[in-house]
Amino acid sequence: MFSIKQKTIHEIIVKKSRFIAIALPVKNENSIKKNLKMFKKEYPNASHYTYAYILEDNGLIQKATDDGEPTRTAGYPILEVLLKQKLTYILLVIIRYFGGIKLGTGGLIRAYTNAASKVLEYCEFTHKQTIYTCKVHADYNHIGNIDRFLRESSNLINVSYDKEITFIFKINATNYDQIKEQLFQKNNFENKLEIIDEFSDYI
C-alpha cells in the first residue's frame, strides 16, 4: 500500500468552473473532520466541497461525498482514483466554484476524475515498510569499525558506554540480513545483534 508525504494542491478549469483539488495524508477520522472544516474557511462560498478518503491498509474505512452534485458524479470518482492508485491514509478534497455552465453527468465525472488524478501527479508517494529498532553490543577493540558502519548504514539513535558499548539504531527490515552479516564480521565474528522493537510506517 501507498500513501502521500504531504499536502498537495492543484487546480483545473473546466468550462469556467474551478476545481481545486487538495490531497493530504491523514491518520484518523478526527483529523479528516478538522481539515474539512478548515478548507471551508479557506475556500468560502464554494458551490461544492466534495471528497473521498481511505483509512486502514485493508481499505475497510472509506467514504465518498458528492456534497450536492448528482449522485456518484463527484465523491465516487475521487474514491475510484484513490483505490486505483492503492492509496490509504489519504483525504482528497475537490472544491468547486461553479462557472455558470452545466457539465452534465458525464462531464462532472470526467472533471472530478481528472482533478483527482492531476493532483496525485504532483504528490510525493510513500510506501509502507517495516522498521526494526535494533541493539548490538561490542567491545572497545571494535568500536571504530562498528560506529562508522552504523552511522553510514542505519539511523543511529544512541551509543552508551559501560563494560561493553551498546548501539541502538533503526534499519529497514529489508536490510536486516545484510546489516547482520556485516556486524557479525566487524564484531569479531560474534552475533550480538538483537531486535528490540518492530513497527510499520509509510516512508
Shared domain check, 139 and 102: no
Any idea how long the chain is?
203
Per-residue pLDDT at 41 exceeds 70: yes
pLDDT of residue 59: 66
According to DSSP, the residues that pair with 92 across neighbouring strands are 23, 52
Shared domain check, 193 and 93: no
Shared domain check, 175 and 116: no
Shared domain check, 8 and 63: yes
How many independent structural domains does the chain possess? 2
Residue 177 identity: D
Residues 6 or more apart whose CB falls under 8 angstroms from that of 177 comprise: none
Shared domain check, 119 and 131: no
Instruction: Give me 127's grid cell.
Output: 510506501
User: What is the domain range of residue 51?
Assistant: 2-123
Shared domain check, 177 and 140: yes
Task: Write down which residue in 123, 151, 176 finishes a domain.
Answer: 123
- Percent over 70 (pLDDT), the chain: 99
Task: Write down which residue in 100, 123, 146 finishes a domain.
Answer: 123
**Band (4; pLDDT cuts 50, 70, 90):** very high
Shared domain check, 188 and 151: yes
Shared domain check, 152 and 197: yes
Q: What is the pLDDT of residues 146-195, one digit of tens each?
A: 999 999 999 999 999 999 999 999 999 999 999 999 999 998 888 899 99
Report helix, strand or coil for 168. Answer: strand
CA separation for the pair 158, 154 (Å, rounded): 12
**Band (144; pLDDT cuts 50, 70, 90):** confident
Shared domain check, 73 and 169: no
Per-residue pLDDT at 57 exceeds 80: no
CA separation for the pair 176, 13 (Å, rounded): 49
Per-residue pLDDT at 7 exceeds 70: yes
- Percent over 90 (pLDDT), the chain: 86
Q: What is the CATH classification number for the domain harbouring 192? A: 3.30.70.120
**Band (60; pLDDT cuts 50, 70, 90):** confident
Strands 61-65 and 90-97, by their bridges, are: unpaired
Task: Write down which residue in 58, 90, 123 finishes a domain.
Answer: 123
Q: What is the CATH classification number for the domain harbouring 68? A: 3.30.230.30
Shared domain check, 114 and 15: yes
CB under 8 Å, gap of 24 or more: what pairs does 179-185 form?
179/134, 179/153, 179/154, 182/149, 182/153, 183/136, 183/146, 183/149
Q: How many CB atoms lie within 10 A of CB 193?
A: 19
Q: In Å, how far are 24, 126, 134 from 193, measured between CA atoms?
A: 38, 28, 7
Shared domain check, 174 and 91: no
Shared domain check, 195 and 147: yes
Question: Exposed, middle or buried, 2 (CB in 10 Å: 0-12/13-18/19+)?
Answer: middle
